[in-house]
Amino acid sequence: MPSSALILVAAGKGERAGGDLPKQYRDIGGQPLIALTLQNLMKAMDFDVIRVVVSADDPYIDAVLAKLDLAHVTTQGGATRTDSVRAGLESLPKFGLDHVYIHDAARPFVNAGLLRPLQTALETHQAAAPSLPIADALKTHDGSAVDRDTLLRVQTPQAFRRADIDAAFAAHPDTNFADDIAVAKAAGLSIKFTAGQARNFKVTYPEDFAKAAQMMGTDMSYTAIGSGFDVHQFEDGGMMWLCGVPIDCGYTLKGHSDADAGLHALTDAILGAICFGDIGDHFPPSDPEWKGASSDKFLRFAMDEVAARGGVLQHVDVTLICEKPKIKPHREAMRARIADLCGLPLTRVSVKATTTEKLGFTGRGEGLAAQATATIKMMS
């Protein structure tokens, strides 16, 4: 897994929110807003380094961090948000970090469903941010229409390859930006917009505290379990792909894509849990685009759909049913590959094998079957 840093921007006064305290320290559900944000961030991802950027005269942050068992993670911010993020970046260790996630302290309902697609996006892009479409009609002050299809509502956390965002800030030392994606855009970095979530709103106005408190008191989450099953025939020659791992055994699995039965079953299990059809609906074997395609593309698609619905994958279990090849020598590599593709700890990925005691097509060594289950926590 790539190493990562979190920069939590908390140096503002939040005057639009009203009240006697800066908004990040006002109470929501019996704790300061910033504490809830940090708790949810640490549940969503295991960051290697955390920096909380605060104002120079902040008298509240130490007590908050002590209750969260966080020490020596603060750094002093600047006069603007851009200055504060720059200070956070400059406070990070010089080496050993691949990715940086920058988040507003006033967005407390962040979750893994937001972070995991950002991590995946950084495999192909230099910057990424969650976004939402605009549903309302847009007008200028003189009543002229604005094409809402050309616009996005952009949220945080915003994620970057560490070396690229450092260089982007260095290239614009005296410019203030609305957010960090704007810095990336000015520097010419490649940007990917992932699916945002309506619940990931920014507490800004007095009425937002009531909304946040209501969200904390109303748990609409549920656990969904999906199952998947796939079968493929053996054919001579080629390389067999199974659970994302190549196996050089002198024969392969016959199919339109790479015929990875393990990943196909797992993809169907995930799609089943979110009630979004099956692998054949989205990647039909009649479509030449998917001929020979690597099945990790199908699994990543399913994971993106989970994230778009605010879900969080909790656990997967794959059973391979075959007389051959022997699965045990490859099992740990399969678990590691699935964990990487799904953004799960290895302890939440199970791969096992069984036979049919020489019965049926698998018993005759004509092919193999795979079945899988996926457990997903859906937020609403």
DSSP 170-195: HH-TT---SSHHHHHHHTT--EEEEE
Structure tokens at 225: 């379990």
Bridge partners of residue 132, in order along the sequence: 153
Q: In CATH, what is the architecture of 4-217? A: Alpha-Beta Complex (3.90)
Let me know the angle formed at the C-alpha of 149 by 148 and 151, rounded to the nearest 5 degrees. Answer: 65
Total residue count of the chain as it appears in this document:
380
Q: Which of 19, 1, 172 is nearest to 85 (CA)?
A: 172
The model's pLDDT over 290-348, given as tens digits with 9 standing for 90+, comes to 998 999 999 999 999 998 887 889 999 999 999 999 999 999 999 999 999 999 999 99
**Tokens 């509240």 -> residue:** 60
Element (H, E) at 9: strand 4-9
CB of 158 closer than 8 Å to CB of 129:
yes
pLDDT of amino acid 211: 85
HSE of 179, CA atoms in CB hemisphere, 13 A: 18
Domains in the chain: boundaries: 4-217, 222-378
How far from chain centre, in Å, is Cα 6? 14
Residue 280 burial (10 A CB sphere; 0-12, 13-18, 19+)? exposed
Dihedral-angle region of residue 362 (phi above 0 means left; psi in -120 to 50 means alpha; beta otherwise):
alpha
pLDDT of amino acid 242: 97
CB of 197 closer than 8 Å to CB of 177:
no
CB of 244 closer than 8 Å to CB of 296:
yes
Q: Which of 251, 237, 227 is nearest to 322 (CA)?
A: 251
Q: In CATH, what is the architecture of 222-378? A: 2-Layer Sandwich (3.30)
* pLDDT < 70 stretches in the chain: 14-19, 218-220, 379-380
**Tokens 């106005």 -> residue:** 205
pLDDT of amino acid 105: 95
Per-position DSSP letters for 47-114, written without gaps between them: -SEEEEEE-TT-SSHHHHHHHTT--S-EEE--SSHHHHHHHHHHTS-SSS--EEEEEETT-TT--HHH
